[in-house]
Structure 1
């Protein structure tokens, strides 16, 4: 006997963002490239930045279960943090690709975002985010970050 499909988002409500995150995503559909968009946080404090990001990404992914990040790029974060009435796991890894975060939903969907360093100038950050969110862009993270140098 097969189990019915779980619908983890039924009855679940993500708290709204306090501040709109600086985020650009590729359109829904067949994914191309190494990243699904770009995020430009205001600081390197993951715990302070991630609630607003998850509030927006939950529209696409449903309830968020996990955020993977490169340990050396963020202030030390706890392994779980409350988001609304749930807990989201934060997994810091040495081998996570540089300048990326991976956000996973309970239903198995995920997005990989290029993280634009917080100190990037606005013109450069805009160029990086536009390139990373272009539907057909398949550039590496390094090439996308270099796009900000040309702005």
Structure 2
């Protein structure tokens, strides 16, 4: 009998996130995030784990209600409660707003999950001013 060893699959998929460099002027968009689905309770823990520590504890995430699937009002991420909010406005269908008390607000462009890599790259680069 021959045993074929398969390489282990990564336990966590690679986070597809790019952040704009921090500057003195406020930005309309602070970076870009390319989730794998519109299931926010499943996707948000990975996003929050990949954010810079200086952003502090994110207590609230707001997304467009027409774009994202049904979600609870809050979830527990790393033993911290994060409120999930939905907007009904058409003005920001592809963003997520993250709030951290005393630290700030960050708006990320959300690249739709079904976007091809070829199409996602320029979107993420534009949101970050070309920075990786």
DSSP-derived class of the 1:24 partner: strand
Moved more, 42-51 or 19-28: 19-28
Structure 1 Cα separation of the partners of residues 88 and 52 of structure 2 = 26
List alignment gaps of at least 5 residues for structure 1: 1-16, 136-151
Cα RMSD of the aligned pairs, angstroms, is 2.0
Structure 2 Cα separation of the partners of residues 74 and 128 of structure 1 = 19
Task: Tell me the CA shift for residue 108 of structure 1.
Answer: 4.0
Q: Does 1:24 align with 2:37?
A: no
Instruction: Name the structure 2 match of 1:38.
Output: 32
Q: 1:77-112, CA deviations, whole angstroms, 9 ceiling, x for partnerless residues?
A: 101100112100000110261100001112241110
Structure 2 Cα separation of the partners of residues 126 and 39 of structure 1 = 11
Could you list the structure 1 runs, at least 4 aligned residues long, displaced by more than 4 angstroms after superposition: none
Instruction: Name the structure 2 match of 1:101.
Output: 96
TM-score of the superposition, structure 1-length normalised? 0.72
Equivalent pairs counted in the alignment come to 120
List alignment gaps of at least 5 residues for structure 2: 1-10
Is contact 1:37–1:114 with CA below 8 Å preserved after alignment? yes
TM-score of the superposition, structure 2-length normalised? 0.82
